[in-house]
Amino acid sequence: VDETYIMGKPDGVQRGLVGEIISRFEKKGFKLTGLKLFQCPQDLAEEHYKDLKGKSFFPKLIEYIVSGPVVCMAWEGVGVVAAARKLIGATNPLQAEPGTIRGDLAVQTGRNVVHGSDSPENGKREIALWFKEGELCQWTPAQAPWLRE
């Protein structure tokens, strides 16, 4: 089953949007399997965004991610990676559709509130990167039969 790494970025935490972000994934029907507030060290931020290393905005991106605590989440469900990207909306919040997290709650690419893995492979990679083994919970939500036939 698919899993994705979702992260409330420092601006999301500072602006008090953590509950709202979690709530959107909960309401959709995905399963939370990991959750923590965490001060990200520089090297982890760089590893997480290593594909963007050559970009001009990379130093500012790393500075942003380590500028305050983030909320790390692992979510599980059929199709969760692509669905989470839809819930989050376009990278530039001004281009993100209303109804998406970024479309409703943000105005600038460099302060776009939330991260979501871009592929199932990266979902697994990022969950392994941000969580230690004992930090993840496998459980069966009581509502499962009311979400999927």
Kindly write out the interface string for residues 113-132 of this chain, putting x where it contacts ligand GTP by CB under 6 A and - elsewhere: --xx-x--------------
For residue 148, give the nearest of 2, 29, 5, 20 by alpha carbon.
29
If contact means CB under 5 to 8 A according to the sort of partner, which of Mg ion, ligand GTP, none does residue 61 touch? Answer: ligand GTP
Residue type, 93: P
Q: Tell me, what amino acid is at 122? A: N
CB atoms within 10 A of CB 84: 27
Q: Residue 91, interface with ligand GTP (CB under 6 A)?
A: yes
Q: How far is the CB of 69 from ligand GTP (least distance, A)?
A: 16
**DSSP 8-state assignment for residue 66:** T
The pair of three-digit structure tokens given for residue 63, joined into one six-digit string: 């500075």
Is 62:50 a contact under the CB 8 Å cutoff?
no
Q: Do the annotations mark residue 85 as ligand-binding? A: yes
- Our finding on whether 80 is near ligand GTP (CB under 6 A) is no
Give the CA count within 13 Å in the CB-facing half-sphere of 14: 14
Q: Which of 60, 107, 144, 147 binds ligand GTP (CB under 6 A)?
A: 60
Residue 55 or 78: the one with the smaller Cβ distance to ligand GTP is: 55
Beta bridge partners of 100: 98
Is 9 annotated as belonging to a binding site?
yes
Q: Which residues bind ligand GTP (CB under 6 A)?
A: 52, 57, 60-61, 91, 109-110, 112, 115-116, 118
Q: Which residues bind Mg ion (CB under 5 A)?
A: 118
